[in-house]
Amino acid sequence: MTERTLILIKPDGVARGLTGEVLRRVEAKGYRITALQQMQASTEQLAAHYAEHEGKPFYQPLVDFMLSGSVVAAIAEGDRVIEGFRSLAGSTEPTTAAPGTIRGDLGRDWGEKVQKNLVHGSDSPESAEREIGIWFG
């Protein structure tokens, strides 16, 4: 069964010119990009996207980071695309992410309050549909 997932290239990835490389890796893996847009995230979108983290210490630094520049939102489709993209992205900690992954090859710790880890991928079919609704309406 074909799945859909939301992929966000975060402001650090966009600012560093890594959008093409991230999308290349997604397509090279055999997934299909079915929607793509570059945009400035709104406070409302981020509040909805990160609702489960509201009140946690990292919430506001994360929102501020996501508001700091453009993001690229994509919908990717394919068999087991959620699991596949999360594997392709690598561990959320870029310093220890495995070589060969997006975060392992392209990410690092910048010594800031928030972890700048280049990409986001939905973690379940339910999250994917909710997140796609937030970013693509």
Catalytic residue from among 5, 11, 120, 135 = 120
**120 included as an active-site residue:** yes
Q: In this structure, which long-range contacts are made by residues 13-20, counting pairs with CB atoms below 8 Å and at least 24 apart in sequence?
A: 13/72, 13/106, 13/118, 13/119, 14/38, 14/69, 14/70, 14/71, 14/72, 15/69, 15/70, 16/106, 18/106, 18/118, 19/72
Q: Which of 106, 89, 97, 80 is nearest to 17 (CA)?
A: 106
Q: Are 22 and 73 in contact (CB under 8 A)?
A: no
Active site residues: 120
